[in-house]
Amino acid sequence: MSRLWDTFSALTAIDSPSFEERELCDALKQRLDALGVQTFEDDAGARLDGNSGNLYGFLPGDAPLPPLLFSAHMDTVEPGRGKRAILQADGRITSAGDTVLGADDVAGIAILLEALARLTEGGTTCRPLELLFPVAEERYGLGSARADYGRIRAKEAYTLDLSGAIGEAAGAAPTLFSFEVTVTGKASHAGFAPRDGIHAIAAASKAVARIPLGEPEPGVTVNIGRISGGEADNIVPALCKVSGEIRSLSHHLVLEQWERIQAVFEEEAQAAGARAAAHGRVEITAYETPPDSPAVRRFERACRQAGVPARIHATLGGSDANNFALHGIQNLVLACSMHQVHSVREYARLDELEQGVQLVLALMTDDAP
Ligand SMILES: [Zn+2]
């Protein structure tokens, strides 16, 4: 457990914001080399304008079974520079209070490294293991979207990247769709010639007022998060930009909502004599791992062995697992001791990290095909 703490604190001390994962990638490579894990780095760094690619690890194993993939992402959110892990008297690991801790996702990385160390030291028989440490997960999984899936043979994956108690897992995740609508009217002096203008903000506002925000139908959320427009208080605004997101576990319900939103903007723009240009993008695609799939059954066995209750649910957050699913890899996202993530109050627990190691070891040594 002291080695687990050493690994966790050493890796969280490395700055690794999205697109700046170089130093962490090098440190990981070194540690994997020492464990006899063969590594490979792809060219996602160059393609994403970052300084590191996705890192892969391969352990051939000695059991003639299909490989399993384990994954944890290398990047962290901001404020994430100068992070320092502090072990509190109650067993919590916190930051110094001015940065995130980076347990998202160093907790996952530390658990995987410790499990691999115990496996190789103990000379334990295991199946072939594949590892993927993506960059830029926090940017809609851009790194894993560009991973080289030709190098991955596994059809089953465990992604360590979830809040909650050890034993919790996400077996379904949503489609996340982001959109931006630009309403273009016509500028005019608000005092001298107000009637010559077409008020883009007014037209956009009417549209926004008609869009049901929140949860317009069960299982679908819609948000408009930003609105901007106008140049000066004495000018009828010619431009208004509105952006937001839609998410749902059902991909087609997301697309239906988007159709409706576009129609509303078009109607209101037209009524005002303005134009609406709408752009939407699927950031991540929904998946669901069936409850009777090998991945779920293996996870339930491993939880029993590790002495933690298995609790599988859906999440409304995306992760690299969405991209794995797109490439035909069935997977679960596992809780790995990260709490209040994306905040300076983020914390992990040493006892949970140890439970995570037990769970991952049980998965790695499970001998069912
Ligand atoms: Zn994460």
Q: What pLDDT does 147 receive?
A: 98
Average pLDDT of the chain, as a whole number: 96
Q: What pLDDT does 238 receive?
A: 98
Ligand 1 center–CA 73 separation, angstroms: 7
Q: Cβ contacts of residue 189 below 8 Å, gap of 6+?
A: 196, 197, 234, 235, 236
User: Quick one: 186 and 215 in the same domain?
Assistant: yes
Ligand 1 center–CA 239 separation, angstroms: 36
User: Quick one: 152 and 197 in the same domain?
Assistant: no
C-beta of residue 271 within 8 angstroms of C-beta of residue 199:
no
Among 21, 42, 75, 105, the one annotated catalytic: 75
User: Quick one: 219 and 277 in the same domain?
Assistant: yes
CA 200 to chain CA mean position, Å: 35
Hunting for tokens 């199946």 — which residue is that?
127
pLDDT category of residue 305 using cuts at 50, 70 and 90? very high
Q: What pLDDT does 204 receive?
A: 98
* Mean pLDDT (whole number) for 24-49: 97
User: Quick one: 272 and 310 in the same domain?
Assistant: no
Q: What pLDDT does 167 receive?
A: 98
Q: What pLDDT does 105 receive?
A: 97
User: Quick one: 148 and 207 in the same domain?
Assistant: no
Ligand 1 center–CA 132 separation, angstroms: 14
Q: What pLDDT does 124 receive?
A: 84
Q: How many helices (H) and strands (E) does the chain have?
A: 10, 19
Ligand 1 center–CA 160 separation, angstroms: 8
Ligand 1 center–CA 205 separation, angstroms: 35
Q: Cβ contacts of residue 256 below 8 Å, gap of 6+?
A: none
User: Quick one: 191 and 157 in the same domain?
Assistant: no
C-beta of residue 228 within 8 angstroms of C-beta of residue 200:
no
Ligand 1 center–CA 231 separation, angstroms: 39
Ligand 1 center–CA 92 separation, angstroms: 19
Please report, for the domain that includes residue 300, its CATH number. 3.40.630.10
Q: How far apart are CA 124 and CA 337, in angstroms?
A: 25
Q: What pLDDT does 122 receive?
A: 87
List, for residues 68-111, the tens digit of each pLDDT value: 999 999 999 999 999 999 999 999 999 999 999 999 999 999 99
State what percent of residues in the chain have pLDDT above 70: 100
List, for residues 221-252, the tens digit of each pLDDT value: 999 999 999 999 999 999 999 999 999 999 99
- Burial-class residue 209 by CB neighbours within 10 Å (0-12, 13-18, 19+): exposed
Q: What pLDDT does 33 receive?
A: 97
Ligand 1 center–CA 188 separation, angstroms: 48
User: Quick one: 83 and 154 in the same domain?
Assistant: yes
Using the predicted structure, report yes or no on whether residue 1 has a pLDDT greater than 80. no
List, for residues 162-196, the tens digit of each pLDDT value: 999 999 999 999 999 999 999 999 999 999 999 99
Among 20, 105, 137, 346, the one annotated catalytic: 137
User: Quick one: 151 and 179 in the same domain?
Assistant: no
Nearest by Cα to 159 from 360, 361, 366: 360
User: Quick one: 148 and 260 in the same domain?
Assistant: no
**Domain count along the chain:** 2
Name the domain boundary from 232, 251, 284: 284
Name the domain boundary from 284, 301, 321: 284
Please report, for the domain that includes residue 186, its CATH number. 3.30.70.360
Angle, helices 200-210 vs 251-272, to 10°: value is: 140
Residues lying with their CB under 5 A of ligand 1, a single-atom ion? 104-105, 161
User: Quick one: 122 and 20 in the same domain?
Assistant: yes
Q: What pLDDT does 137 receive?
A: 97
* Annotation says 137 is catalytic: yes
Ligand 1 center–CA 310 separation, angstroms: 20
Using the predicted structure, report yes or no on whether residue 273 has a pLDDT greater than 80. yes
Q: What pLDDT does 123 receive?
A: 85
List, for residues 44-56, the tens digit of each pLDDT value: 999 999 999 999 9
Range of the domain at 215: 175-284
Q: What pLDDT does 26 receive?
A: 98
Using the predicted structure, report yes or no on whether residue 134 has a pLDDT greater than 80. yes
pTM recorded for the entire structure: 0.91
List, for residues 141-170, the tens digit of each pLDDT value: 999 999 999 999 999 999 999 999 999 999
Name the domain boundary from 284, 306, 339: 284
Q: What pLDDT does 125 receive?
A: 83
* Annotation says 217 is catalytic: no
Q: What pLDDT does 40 receive?
A: 98
- Tally the residues of the chain: 369
Q: What pLDDT does 132 receive?
A: 98
User: Quick one: 106 and 76 in the same domain?
Assistant: yes
User: Quick one: 139 and 193 in the same domain?
Assistant: no
Ligand 1 center–CA 331 separation, angstroms: 15
